[in-house]
Amino acid sequence: MKNRQMLPLAAMISGLLVGCGGSGGGGGGGGAPSTKFDFMFSAPNTILESNNTSNCTVYERGENSSQQTTVLTYQPAIESQLNNENVIAYYSDASGARVGDLIAPSNLKLSFTLEGIPDDGFITFQIREANNTHFTANTFSKEYLEDLTLRNATFGMNREAVSSCNKGENFSRTTRNDLSYSAVVSEGGNYIFQSQLAEESVPTYSIDSLDARALPNGTTESTIVTQFKGDYLHQYGVRDWSNASTLDLVSMAGNKAQLTHTNDFDYSSVEIKVSQGEFSYDIVTIPSTQADFTHPDTPSTESWSLSVESDTPLNGWNIDLNKKLYVEGAWDVSVATDSLFDLNSLPANLPTLSGNNLDLDFSFTDEVGKMRVAYTTESLSSGLHKLTHKLFTHLENTLVVPELYYYDYSNTIKNELQLDPSVDPIHQTVLIETEESDITGYDFLTAFAHGNVTDLDEDLDGLVINEVALNKTGVKVQNQNYLMISK
């Protein structure tokens, strides 16, 4: 997933059920229960961090051309930005044909029901930009939504931010001054104290203070300290192991695990990470020429994982592998991907389209996972018209592309906006996970959040998720086994 602190299925309980009727979503009849989804929309607004005096919720941080820190904020859409078909939705059946009437927002929410989606069908929502000639479409398969993690979600829109910003739920900056440790082995290099905000390398195993982050509820991040002997981790400490005033470090005790490399794809290093609570810390970078690493006897309260990214694409595909590092008492781990997917079967050909069926040239059988396929098309008739369409489904070899709604566009423009995979840009992201993985539909969408209007690998109109929630999701996904491939 996106390289930031990012990728159980929600249970349907009585509290998730609402009665049918009344909502624009339709679906169902009589007294049968229906599962309602509410989508809301917000416009992005990037401001200087120093100007965030109203405590606007921070969704992402960056820098402007003057190297000043900026923060991404969002402001809820107003009614005029949603009505008059600016935002609409509709159901499609398993063949991609549109079913039923258009669904319009009501009370600033776009509502529909899971039961309203035909079996093996889809729900699509579209957002029309202010110029009326560009629009985006997001399609979700019924199966994708069945984990219910998107029942109440907010999506971005390329509109002017005209309302008040969302407020609160931000990280705060604090100081951790209880970083007193005792070494348990001699020798080794400097002690490296690490937080989300700072890193200090000192010759002593205690430090007076370290800047750190705190959650909105006031909980301060743990922080960690590591010491190396040569290229190997020698001893380490996680402050939240206990509240002892002085905490004993843990040595590697001579433990070395086998790191089995692979020739299936090209990579130069393996990143080992440790997470404690809702925060993650990089521990060590292992070169692909090194076949072992040091480790403690067992983890304490922290979780260990590794990640590997390809240096060069394979058949045009970028590869991102993530694995738990300590499983059932064993530290040995292989970078090979064959337990998830055979990289030798990666498609080398472009997708092909027949009717509404987009053949992706995959040969999935019993693999588990999710996928996003995005494309953009243009028409130059009567000025520039542009469409960007994203589809979110479980793994498919052939993807049904539902028929879209083209407003009052002429037939010429409609025809020119139809997908031609041989010339139109297409971006594919495929997540392959184990049966035990706990990556939800919501989690997967966070990988594409907060894009720019020109992006095809990220979504300006994608999920809106604040920095705190994004960090928490990233830590959760970091502790799953998965393979992400993108092209």
pLDDT tens-digit map of 355-396: 999 999 999 999 999 999 999 999 999 999 999 999 999 999
Burial of residue 230 (number of CB atoms within 10 Å: 0-12, 13-18, 19+): exposed
**To the nearest 10°, the Cα dihedral for 108, 113, 118, 122?**
40
Percentage, residues of the chain above pLDDT 70 = 93
pLDDT at 24: 40
* pLDDT tens for each residue of 441-483: 999 999 999 999 888 999 999 999 999 999 999 999 999 999 9
Q: Supply the pLDDT for residue 211.
A: 99
The Cα-based distances of 153 to 38, 115, 294, 389, 463 in angstroms read 7, 18, 42, 19, 7
| pLDDT score, position 425 | 98
Q: Where are the domains of the chain?
A: 35-167+343-486, 172-334
Share of the chain above pLDDT 90, in %: 91
Give DSSP secondary structure letters for 8-28: ------GGG-B-SSSSTT---
CA 55 to chain CA centroid, nearest Å = 25
Question: In this predicted structure, what is the pLDDT of residue 120?
Answer: 98
User: Quick check: 200 pLDDT over 80?
Assistant: yes
How many other C-beta atoms are found inside a 10 Å radius of the C-beta of residue 164? 10
Closest CA to 313 of 487, 431, 448: 487
Going by their DSSP bridges, the two strands 247-248 and 181-182 should be labelled as parallel
Q: What is the helix (H) or strand (E) element at residue 64, kind and residue range?
A: none
Give the pLDDT score at 10.
25
Convert the pLDDT of each residue in 223-270 to its tens digit: 999 999 999 999 999 999 999 999 999 999 999 999 999 999 999 999
Distance between CA 343 and CA 362 in Å, rounded?
A: 11
d(CA 162, CA 41): 13
Task: Look at residue 4 and tell me whether its pLDDT is greater than 70.
Answer: no
- The torsion defined by the Cα of 275, 289, 345 and 447, in degrees rounded to 10, comes to 30
Q: Tell me what pLDDT residue 286 has.
A: 97
The pLDDT tens digits for 57-66 are: 999 999 999 9
Q: What is the spatial distance between Cα 135 and Cα 387, in angstroms, rounded to a whole number? A: 5
Instruction: Compute, in degrees rounded to 10, the torsion defined by CA atoms 225, 227, 233, 235.
Output: -70
Predicted confidence at residue 453, as pLDDT, reads 85
Asked whether the CA dihedral 416, 419, 421, 425 is positive or negative, the reply is positive
Once rounded to an integer, what is the mean pLDDT over residues 144-149? Answer: 98
Mean per-residue pLDDT of the chain: 93
In this predicted structure, the answer to whether residue 28 has a pLDDT above a threshold of 60 is: no
Helix (H, G, I), strand (E, B) or coil at 225: strand
Distance CA 266, CA 343 (A): 12
Residues β-bridged to residue 237: 225
Q: What is the pLDDT of residue 33?
A: 80
Instruction: Tell me if 434 sits within 8 A of 337, measured CB to CB.
Output: no
pLDDT, tens only, 402-422 = 999 999 999 999 999 999 999
3-state secondary structure of 112: strand
* Amino acid present at 428: Q
* DSSP β-ladder status, 87-92 and 60-63: unpaired
Q: How far apart are CA 387 and CA 401, in angstroms?
A: 14
Among 221, 123, 140, which residue's Cα sits nearest to residue 176? 221
- Give the C-alpha separation, 368 to 432, whole Å: 6
pLDDT at 3: 42
pLDDT at 443: 98
431-440 pLDDT, tens digit per residue, is 999 999 999 9
Angstrom distance (rounded) from CA 171 to CA 55: 11
The pLDDT, as a whole number, for residue 196 is 98
304 pLDDT higher than 90: yes
Provide the residue type at 394 as one letter. H
Terminal Cα-to-Cα distance of the chain (whole angstroms): 13
Given a cut of 90, whether residue 11 has pLDDT beyond it is: no
| pTM for the model | 0.92
pLDDT tens profile 307-366:
999 999 999 999 999 999 999 999 989 999 999 999 999 999 999 999 999 999 999 999
Please check the confidence at residue 25 and state whether its pLDDT lies above 50.
Answer: no
Q: Which residue has the higher pLDDT, 380 or 17?
A: 380
Query: Of 446, 395, 442, whose CA–CA distance to 145 is shortest?
Result: 442
| pLDDT average, residue stretch 34-52 | 97
Measured CA to CA, the distance from residue 486 to residue 431 in angstroms comes to 9
**Band (12; pLDDT cuts 50, 70, 90):** very low
